[in-house]
């Protein structure tokens, strides 16, 4: 994950689909990065749809906590994600889009959540790691 500290949130978000980028930027501007992630993950879509798990709730905290746990396992060299991290090591130089894609897919498979829906939250988390540094993130 070398060089990640040189990539801004804007740069990470520029890799998202236009509708995701616009929506997540608005959430970040209004609520900040941490709360924006929770708001993104708690979005239910149309009001008549039942969210994953069948329980109607706007509390994304349990899922956000689980996401952060899995994200930290991925980034901090937990064996559960060794194969996916190897995919990142093959690419040189690696694009931001590939980082977002591989991490979103790996975590989506573990969490039972569509990778495309996780991509904006992954982008924010990568930006957070860049700001604080990988070692600080893993020790936190």
Q: Where along the chain do its domains lie? A: 4-43+60-139
Both tokens assigned to 80: 């559960």
What confidence score (pLDDT) does residue 77 get? 87
Both tokens assigned to 82: 């060794």
For 58-85, how does the pLDDT look when each residue is reduced to its tens digit (9 = 90+)?
556 788 899 999 999 998 989 999 988 8
Instruction: Report the alpha-carbon distance of residue 134 to residue 42 in Å, rounded.
Output: 27
How far out from the chain centre does Cα 126 lie? 7
User: If phi over 0 gives left and psi between -120 and 50 gives alpha, with beta otherwise, what is residue 13?
Assistant: alpha
What confidence score (pLDDT) does residue 87 get? 80
Both tokens assigned to 100: 């977002």
What confidence score (pLDDT) does residue 6 get? 78
């Amino acid at each position: 994950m070398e060089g990640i500290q040189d990539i801004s949130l804007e740069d990470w978000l520029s890799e998202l689909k236009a509708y995701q980028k616009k929506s997540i930027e608005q959430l970040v501007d209004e609520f900040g990065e941490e709360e924006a992630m929770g708001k993104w993950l708690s979005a239910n879509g149309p009001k008549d749809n039942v969210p994953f798990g069948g329980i109607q709730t706007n509390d994304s905290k349990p899922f956000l906590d689980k996401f952060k746990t899995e994200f930290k396992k991925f980034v901090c060299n937990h064996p559960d994600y060794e194969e996916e991290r190897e995919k990142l090591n093959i690419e040189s130089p690696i694009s931001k889009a590939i980082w977002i894609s591989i991490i979103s897919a790996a975590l989506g498979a573990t969490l039972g959540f569509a990778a495309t829906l996780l991509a904006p939250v992954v982008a924010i988390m990568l930006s957070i790691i860049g700001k604080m540094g990988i070692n600080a993130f893993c020790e936190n």
